Each structure stands twice: as structure tokens, then as C-alpha cells.
Amino acid sequence: MPNTALIVIDVQQSFLQRPFWVEDDVPEFQQNISQLIEACVAKNVPIVRIFHVAGGPFALESGLVTPLDWLPPQHDVVFHKHVHNAFSDTGLDYWLRKRKITKLLITGIRTEQCCETTARVGSDIGYEVDFISDATLTFAMSHPQTGRTLSAAEIKERTEVVLAGRFANIVSSKACINSL
């Protein structure tokens, strides 16, 4: 797929240190993102790794700002970000435009935070965005005022609803692989 790049956001050891980390959805996420990476390698689609850098387990000094052990090692470039989206402080936009990349395949951790924010910003600055929801991972969250807990599936569904038709095409990993 010419002019396309796979963006792999925050699939890093840091998250294993967070109290909300649960393995429930990890096997499907691992399979989907790994198959996408392998398909992109086979089709010469550039793979961009993004790592979140902040304090605690997200600090470079922690030694945890590294890929999860099972993540396929292939990538073309790595950027470190300090905000939720992968564009604001990384040089990603320059790197993509220099290579005439116009379409982004968004994957990674957390669906509703860094992945969604990157999709929104990418769309706003002119990229076509495919949001590969089944190759993103998130965790249940509780509403700060009502206490209602939203499951990871509900958060993913909400993200798909707010992105679809406005900021991104919602695409399954299988459909994405078939279109490469």
C-alpha cells in the first residue's frame, strides 16, 4: 500500500507496572498487531514505533520504555513522545511528509487515549486515518463522578463511534491486511 505507514503507539513494558493492567484482551491484541506488523513488513509498509516518556515506569531511566517482549522487532523509526498524541513533540509529521506518506494505520495502547488522540490530530493535519481498533488495547475505567465502570469493550466502542466518519475509518486488522 503506497504512501501508508503503520503507527504502533506505546506498546511498551511501562504499562505492565500500572495497577489497571490486566491480560484479558492481550492475546487477541497481540495476535492482531503482530499479524499487522508482519503483513506490513512483507509489503514494505514503514512501521513507526512510538513510546510514551514521562515519570515513573514511563521514564527512560526506568528501563521500561522498551517494547513488550512479544512485539515483533521490525520497525523503521522510533519516536519518543511526552504528550498523548504522537505528533506534537516528536518530528513524526516531518518524517512522514518527507516520505510522502498520506495514510496512517493506527494501532497500540491505550485505545481512547494516545491512539484516539493521534488519530484525531493526524486527521486534522491532513492524513487519511485507518483506526485498527482490534489492534488497540485498553482497560476498564470508572467515571470520576458516577463511579460507573466502563469495560474495555465499551471504551473501544465509544472510541469507534466518535472517530468514525469524522477522524478515521474504523477497520479490522484482517480487512487492513487484506487491503495491503
Q: What is the mean pLDDT of residues 34-56?
A: 98
Domain positions in the chain are 4-179
Provide the 8-state DSSP code for 62. Answer: G
Q: Tell me, what's the pLDDT at 164? A: 98
Distance between CA atoms of residues 85 and 138, nearest Å: 16
pLDDT reading at 78 higher than 70: yes
pLDDT band at 1 (very low <50, low <70, confident <90, very high): low
- Contact call for residues 116 and 155 (beta carbons, < 8 A): no
- Residue 23, C-beta contacts closer than 8 angstroms, at least 6 positions apart: none
Is residue 51 pLDDT above 70, yes or no? yes
DSSP state of 8: E
User: What's the Cα-to-Cα distance from 84 to each of 9, 36, 40, 73, 112, rounded to whole Å?
Assistant: 10, 23, 25, 23, 10
Do 8 and 33 contact (CB within 8 A), yes or no?
yes
Q: Which of 130, 136, 129 is nearest to 111 (CA)?
A: 136
Helix (H, G, I), strand (E, B) or coil at 141: strand
Q: Where are the beta strands (DSSP E) in 19-154?
A: 47-52, 77-81, 103-109, 128-137, 141-142, 149-150
Average pLDDT, the chain: 97
CATH of 4-179, one of 3.40.190.10, 3.40.50.850, 3.30.300.340, 3.10.20.30: 3.40.50.850
What pLDDT, on a 0 to 100 scale, did the predictor assign at position 2? Answer: 73
Distance CA 115, CA 110 (A): 6
Specify the pTM: 0.97
Does residue 12 surpass a pLDDT of 80? yes
